[in-house]
Structure 1
Amino acid sequence: MQSVGANAAPPRNYYGPMSGGAGYKDSPTKDGYWKIEGATQGGNGLAVDVAIYRAAEMAQAAGSRFVEIHDAYSSRNGLRDERATLFARPAAAALHPSLCRSGKPGRCYTADVALVMRKLSGASGYEPGVAAPTYTDKYGRTVTESGFGVGSISAPIARK
């Protein structure tokens, strides 16, 4: 039975504006990026997947085929609730960002918007922010690709 009313918990794999501790929140930053926060509850998915999907969605709405993802980080509490924050902006080309926001080359990448949306739309293709099955391993287990780096079309710059 699902709760109803103002204090109802969001659905299991909720994707939408932040509500009841799950979903996403975005805002522009002074340096021209979008600050995107994602949140999941009770171990239901990865908050960073919610944030990356939202970044791709925003880049698509801005008319871009690519999105730069910068400085993603996440944390989890004892109840397995997870929160993630990243910074993103639309990209004009399928090239690694010329400068990472943090100044650390391994902390950013450029992703293909369509690839992100396909890989993070769940098994049904209708669950934004949920990793879709990628393949089945030799033991019959479903394997997914998600988290920082999903949809990447640019190789990170080698650290010196």
Structure 2
Amino acid sequence: MNPRRKQRLTWALGLIGGVAVAMSIILYALSQNIDLFYTPSEVIDGKGRDMTKPEVGQRLRIGGMVVEGSVRRNPETLEVEFRVTDTGPEVKILYTGILPDLFREGQGIVAQGVMVEPTVMEATEVLAKHDEEYMPPELAEQMKGIKHVNPNQPDAFKDKQS
């Protein structure tokens, strides 16, 4: 191999190696900041997308409906405790701060924070869903028996026309 080709090969391999190291560092940094979304059933049963239960100390987001009668406030501080459910199991959420205006029992919320026990989460942020009519198709089917029909399918409205 002539010296010029050898120099080009060295530069190309060095560039590829540098990009690989930079991408590795970026992906490692991002993995520390990823908050995965779980439902209460996935937290308790571990039957989520990857079939693993979140660990104590893990950052995550939990979404579901606030259980009726579960909201307890400390009158002297901003501490609030409530339970969230989807179709069965409940997860207790501990939050210190001012809740959103739309927060109420029976309302859909998403809480972001850290698991402190297998069924208890300490939230750093609570978001109330603004449209109470919308529900993910899978959750609507489980909770209300509503079957989602894709209107883009050719046979979507076949039963309604006959």
Q: TM-score range by the shorter chain?
A: under 0.3
The structure with the larger Rg is: 2
Q: Normalising by structure 1, report the TM-score.
A: 0.22
* Larger RCO (alpha carbons 8 Å, 6+ apart): 1
| Greater per-residue helix proportion | 2
Q: Normalising by structure 2, report the TM-score.
A: 0.21
